Structure 1
Amino acid sequence: MTDLLSGIGIEHVTLLIIIATLVIFLLDRIPIALTALISSIVLALVGAMDFKQVYSGFATPVTLLVFGMLIVGYALFETGAITILGKKILKSRVARNERALLGVLMLVAGIASAFLSNTALMATFIPLVGGMVATASGHLTNKNLLMPLGMAASVGGTITLVGSTSQPVASGIMSESGYGELGMFDFAPIAIPMLLVLILYMMTIGYNMERKFFKFEDHSTVGADDAEGSLDVKVTWKTWVATLTLVFCVISFMFGLLPIEITALIGAAIVLATGCIDFKTAMAQLDWNTVLLIAFAQGIAAGMNDSGAGKLVGEWSVAIVGESPAVLLAIAVVVTVVLTNIMSNTAVAAMMVPIFVSIAVGVGYHPFVFVLAIAIASNASIATPIGGTAMSQTLVAGYGFRDYLKLGAPITIVLTIMIAVITPLVFGFPQL
């Protein structure tokens, strides 16, 4: 096959394969991990990279990090630690005022999402909120609480490397391209201000917009059937083990006590060995689509890098838009934000990062700032219920598509500007 394609130029063949991969990502007809696998295999078959590059992503730190932290997160939900936290919030004085409760829930969801699965967090909090609303005599509503909760979970998930799937995918691709990895808390200087601005918006302008525009009847029974069982969760020794394991992981991440992937694997071993979560249950719940995508997406990056396709994309891009890194970064952020609101945020990161690694290198800059900005921007999927799972889960409150646009579009524009401006202010544009 290599001989047949040698006359075309392997870099051009690689680009055709990458374009086909992007189209399949956009169509979203098959799992994105399967698309990444097929693309990696085809790239190896045509000679764009060595065959070992197809599976080498499984041994990278970022893949092992995500694998371990997913299991630690599942243990926290399995032992009831997150449910107990939610129950305490909903039984506190702050729950008497909807606006105040909204702010507290968003803050907790944002912080928790930095280390835990957004999907599992929302699946836990939706019935808790629904149960509280059902007994609140009308002063609390699902329609005013659930969409902001989903927004906070989405944006808060960008604070760390493990908070959402986009970050490890982006980090793995950059690493495979030979430019190092993103750090555990590199996102925080941009993501934390974004979360705080989002909460401030929702407690002021956003809350007033909800009361003005959300005229539909509140689905007051959302999650109420599941809430009673959730509220019966008791603290056990396993709850403490799972919680302290997460604390250990966070401390180790912050102070560099151990390599991040070893920390995550130790955490997973602890919660599995102590029975905080059953091994078979953990393997059944594990988001294999994410783990496999992270591994195989690195193969796609290797194909672009080794074949020369990435260099070609960089040269073309510079010829079209020039060499200004600020302009290139703004384009990357805007395009990513638009795409992430109409398709999977993980797929968007897998699409955009290899392209802008090549573009950044083509103009002589280290791709770190571009990759970081794209990873964060791919989680700004709060203007529609499509791009992020956390937002999709809030549909149970009875929102229409226009409701998401009315509430989410203004703050999405603000967050987009913040990413494009704050990222280079904090990190600059380091040259190669």
Structure 2
Amino acid sequence: MSPMIIAAIILITVVVMFFSPKFSNAAVCVIGTIAMGLAGFLPVKTAFSYYTSTSIILMVGMMVVGGGMFHTGLAGWLGRKIISLTGKGERNLQLVAILAGWIMSSVCSGSASMMILYPIFCSICLAADLSVNRILLPMFTGIGFGSFMTLAGSGMCSATASILIESGYRGWGFLEPAWFGLPKAILMTVVLFFFMHKLLPSTYVAPDAAEAAKAENLPQNLNGKMMISGVILVATIVGMVIDSPVCPMYMCAAIGGITSVVLGCLNEKQMFASISWSTVFLIGGMTAVAKGVEESGLGAALAEKIISLAGNNASPFALIVIIYLTTALITQFMSNNAAASLMAPIGIAIAKSMGIEPYAFVAATLFGSAIGCLTPMATPALGFIMEGGHYTPKDIFKWGLVECACSCVVALIVIPLVWL
């Protein structure tokens, strides 16, 4: 059996397991790593080295820094201050929900942002007698905006950066995802300003009183530990933006994370709890699988097939559109991290076959995975929002179509201009 056939069997098995609810994403990625190692596509001794790549160290370090903000109360204080900038009218709250989610998820993980903001908005809706389903989807969308403001904002950014580095190219710059994230956030906010009232359900959903009570425990004033956490965050981000060869981005994140622990912003137990281990295993495992696909020659074969189907004279832009739309489709039914990781090596192989740099093609996989918003399977936070706001699948699909349209417009303009 040829190496490409073996690699194809492994890849198909991994994809099928991703689609099945019986297997956790982390377990699937470990199985994929083991299979690629035993098949000889990866050196067995170093097969699991992808789980400690520089991109994962960066991501873990920022998770710990964000955890310090959460445990000192700085994140909660910041969330309360952002929301206090507006009145309690529905339109004002919707806009501030977008803004609050955007800012919070730029410095904290999406899950932490959700945990902080959800009780606050439940409390405000309860006091103002507003339906919570008029607020939660705007908040979710805002949290999605922040995920593409920095390299550390989402697992997809880290995953595609790791695959680029393992293929011999540079990873993303710390602020590089914002080329897409910022225009998308602006366009989507403008569209929602005019059409949000038509997209959200009109049925009344009472806020969760138990969640609203949690907002009462958020700090009202800054204290010493909160200020220390804030200084660590700012210093870490400044170091990442500078990205000095002496202290590169991943080292800045590691320093920021351990400083948060040493200075008491969170303890060791809280540090480990702040790390999304499933995301670590997913990114590490899928980087290993991607490397196996490349080494087996399967990536190049798939690239040649895509090019032949598109036509031998197909332009790079046409192929970028194909990769983008393919990733956008599969991310509706599996983890967006996995979707980006599966498609990135194919994008790199297409670029190599055309003799050009791969950044535009990998960016297409990254930003294609950003529109996992039509079903809750791509983004667990969407499932939480559906339950809290009693949204129907039709509500989610209608809202998601608008977000998909905005994402497509921005991505297919920005990617060729910035990376092609």
TM range (shorter): over 0.9
Amino acid at match of 2:238: I
Cα offset, 1:70, TM superposition: 0.6
What's the counterpart of residue 270 of structure 1? 259
Name the CA distance, whole Å, in 2 between partners of 1:320 and 1:337.
19
What's the counterpart of residue 304 of structure 1? 293
What's the counterpart of residue 374 of structure 1? 365
Using a 3 Å threshold, how does the CA distance of structure 1 residues 134 and 382 change in structure 2: closer, same or farther?
same
The structure 2 residue matched to 1:251, chosen from 227, 233, 238, is: 238
What's the counterpart of residue 288 of structure 1? 277
Amino acid at match of 1:218: V
Using a 3 Å threshold, how does the CA distance of structure 1 residues 87 and 328 change in structure 2: closer, same or farther?
same
Amino acid at match of 2:205: D
Using a 3 Å threshold, how does the CA distance of structure 1 residues 305 and 66 change in structure 2: closer, same or farther?
same
Name the CA distance, whole Å, in 1 between partners of 2:150 and 2:210.
29
2:118–2:211 contact (8 Å) kept in structure 1 = no
CA deviation vs aligned residue, 1:50-86 (integer Å, no higher than 9, x gap): 1134112134210110111110011111111121122
Using a 3 Å threshold, how does the CA distance of structure 1 residues 91 and 410 change in structure 2: closer, same or farther?
closer
The structure 2 residue matched to 1:10, chosen from 3, 7, 14, is: 3
CA deviation vs aligned residue, 1:158-204 (integer Å, no higher than 9, x gap): 12111111111111122212233122111111110001111112221
What's the counterpart of residue 223 of structure 2? 236
SS at match of 1:379: helix
Aligned length: 415
**2:400 aligned with 1:408, yes or no?**
yes
Cα offset, 1:298, TM superposition: 2.0
TM (norm. structure 1) is 0.91
Unaligned stretches of 5+ in structure 1?
A: 1-7
**2:53 aligned with 1:60, yes or no?**
yes
Name the CA distance, whole Å, in 2 between partners of 1:416 and 1:223.
39
1:201–1:411 contact (8 Å) kept in structure 2 = no
What's the counterpart of residue 38 of structure 1? 31
Name the CA distance, whole Å, in 2 between partners of 1:299 and 1:185.
25
Cα offset, 1:233, TM superposition: 5.4
Name the CA distance, whole Å, in 2 between partners of 1:90 and 1:177.
43
Cα offset, 1:28, TM superposition: 4.0
> After superposition, where does 1:141-290 map in structure 2 within 5 Å?
141-210=131-200, 214-221=201-208, 224-232=211-219, 234-257=221-244, 258-290=247-279
Using a 3 Å threshold, how does the CA distance of structure 1 residues 407 and 299 change in structure 2: closer, same or farther?
closer
The structure 2 residue matched to 1:48, chosen from 41, 47, 50, is: 41
Cα offset, 1:310, TM superposition: 1.6
Amino acid at match of 1:280: K
CA deviation vs aligned residue, 1:271-291 (integer Å, no higher than 9, x gap): 100111111121134211111
Amino acid at match of 1:297: M
The structure 2 residue matched to 1:19, chosen from 8, 12, 20, is: 12
Name the CA distance, whole Å, in 1 between partners of 2:104 and 2:202.
31
Name the CA distance, whole Å, in 2 between partners of 1:298 and 1:52.
16
SS at match of 1:250: helix
Using a 3 Å threshold, how does the CA distance of structure 1 residues 189 and 385 change in structure 2: closer, same or farther?
same
Using a 3 Å threshold, how does the CA distance of structure 1 residues 156 and 314 change in structure 2: closer, same or farther?
same
Unaligned stretches of 5+ in structure 2?
A: none
Greater shift in the superposed pair: 112-121 or 63-72: 112-121
SS at match of 2:413: helix
CA deviation vs aligned residue, 1:364-391 (integer Å, no higher than 9, x gap): 2222111122212212223333322332
1:174–1:181 contact (8 Å) kept in structure 2 = yes
SS at match of 1:361: helix
What's the counterpart of residue 4 of structure 1? none
Name the CA distance, whole Å, in 2 between partners of 1:338 and 1:310.
19
SS at match of 2:104: helix
2:123–2:215 contact (8 Å) kept in structure 1 = yes
CA deviation vs aligned residue, 1:243-277 (integer Å, no higher than 9, x gap): 11111111112222430011000101111001111
What's the counterpart of residue 132 of structure 1? 124
Amino acid at match of 1:288: W
What's the counterpart of residue 339 of structure 2? 348
TM (norm. structure 2) is 0.93
Cα offset, 1:98, TM superposition: 2.2
Using a 3 Å threshold, how does the CA distance of structure 1 residues 25 and 95 change in structure 2: closer, same or farther?
same
Cα offset, 1:236, TM superposition: 2.0
The structure 2 residue matched to 1:318, chosen from 284, 307, 312, is: 307
Cα offset, 1:409, TM superposition: 0.9
What's the counterpart of residue 104 of structure 2? 112
Name the CA distance, whole Å, in 2 between partners of 1:26 and 1:344.
9
What's the counterpart of residue 360 of structure 1? 351
Cα offset, 1:225, TM superposition: 4.2
Greater shift in the superposed pair: 221-230 or 316-325: 221-230
SS at match of 1:135: helix
Amino acid at match of 1:344: S
CA deviation vs aligned residue, 1:79-126 (integer Å, no higher than 9, x gap): 11121122223334x123321232223123213323321011011100
Cα offset, 1:333, TM superposition: 1.3
Amino acid at match of 1:205: F
Amino acid at match of 1:43: M
Cα offset, 1:420, TM superposition: 1.9
Using a 3 Å threshold, how does the CA distance of structure 1 residues 222 and 177 change in structure 2: closer, same or farther?
farther
Please, what is the CA RMSD of the aligned residues? 1.9
